[in-house]
């Protein structure tokens, strides 16, 4: 018989580290509040959640690595917003944030999830930070919970 192994939407007892970037704070603050609300709704205890603020998305992998190395968390949630401007800076920042988080996630013994928006404009970012396309902060927090509970079974 095939055995299916899945995580659960239950954050009770999980210690979660959140790294959130300050750049485009008018978007990332909504990602953060969505993530915190989702964790609360799924049974997380406030005292088990720590939020680390960094200047921009480029710095997210650096802080996420520190949290993983601290061995204090069951999962790390990365939140940020990279919005395309008139310069190629977008590609560097978005690319490095995604590559950096992916590299850490592969090496860490805990799940590290990517809730960094990469959009062409502010409207697209707002849609995904509590607007008509939902809230990527919520999605990232729930992915972290599912993966952390899955890791406990693997
Ligand atoms: N950081 C972001 O988080 N989002 C952006 O859209 C962004 N843009 O467009 O420049 C951005 N730049 C700052 C970058 O993340 C670093 O903080 C900075 O380069 C210092 O290392």
Q: How far apart are CA 25 and CA 124, in angstroms?
A: 15
28 lines ligand 1 (CB under 6 A): no
Q: In this predicted model, what pLDDT tens digit does every residue of 137-151 receive, in sequence order?
A: 999 999 999 999 999
Statement: residue 86 has pLDDT above 70: no
29 Cα: distance to centroid of ligand 1 (angstroms): 16
Q: Work out the pLDDT band at 1, boundaries 50, 70, 90.
A: very high
73 Cα: distance to centroid of ligand 1 (angstroms): 26
Q: In this predicted model, what pLDDT tens digit does every residue of 4-54 receive, in sequence order?
A: 999 999 999 999 999 999 999 999 999 999 999 999 999 999 999 999 999
If phi > 0 it is left, if psi is from -120 to 50 it is alpha, else beta; for residue 13 that is: left
Whole-number percent of the chain with pLDDT over 90? 95
**Per-residue pLDDT, 129:** 97
User: Which of 28, 82, 84, 119 maximizes ligand 1 atoms within 8 Å of its Cβ, making it the mutation to test the pocket?
Assistant: 82
Active centre residues (catalytic): 89
Q: In this predicted model, what pLDDT tens digit does every residue of 103-148 receive, in sequence order?
A: 999 999 999 999 999 999 999 999 999 999 999 999 999 999 999 9
**Per-residue pLDDT, 89:** 85
DSSP states of the chain: --------S--TT--EEEEEE-TTHHHHHHHHHHHHHHHHHTT--GGGEEEEEESSGGGHHHHHHHHHHHT--SEEEEEEEEE--SSTHHHHHHHHHHHHHHHHHHHSSS-EEEEEEEESSHHHHHHTEEETTEEHHHHHHHHHHHHHHHHTT-
Q: Give the atom of ligand 1 at the shortest distance from the alpha carbon of 87.
A: 9
CATH class of 16-153: alpha beta
95 lines ligand 1 (CB under 6 A): no
89 Cα: distance to centroid of ligand 1 (angstroms): 8
Q: How far apart are CA 52 and CA 93, in angstroms?
A: 19
What's the token pair of residue 79?
């939140």
């Amino acid at each position: 018989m095939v055995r299916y192994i899945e995580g659960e939407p239950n954050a009770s007892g999980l210690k979660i580290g959140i790294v959130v970037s300050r750049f485009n704070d008018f978007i990332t603050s909504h990602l953060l509040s969505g993530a915190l609300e989702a964790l609360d709704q799924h049974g997380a205890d406030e005292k088990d959640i720590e939020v680390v603020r960094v200047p921009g998305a480029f710095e997210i992998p650096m802080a996420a690595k520190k949290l993983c190395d601290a061995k204090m968390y069951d999962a790390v949630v990365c939140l940020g917003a990279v919005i395309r401007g008139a310069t190629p800076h977008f590609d560097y920042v978005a690319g490095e944030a995604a590559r950096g988080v992916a590299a850490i996630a592969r090496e860490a013994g805990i799940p590290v999830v990517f809730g960094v928006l990469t959009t062409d404009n502010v409207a697209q970012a707002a849609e995904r930070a509590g607007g008509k396309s939902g809230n990527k902060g919520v999605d990232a927090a729930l992915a972290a919970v599912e993966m952390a509970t899955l890791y406990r079974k693997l």
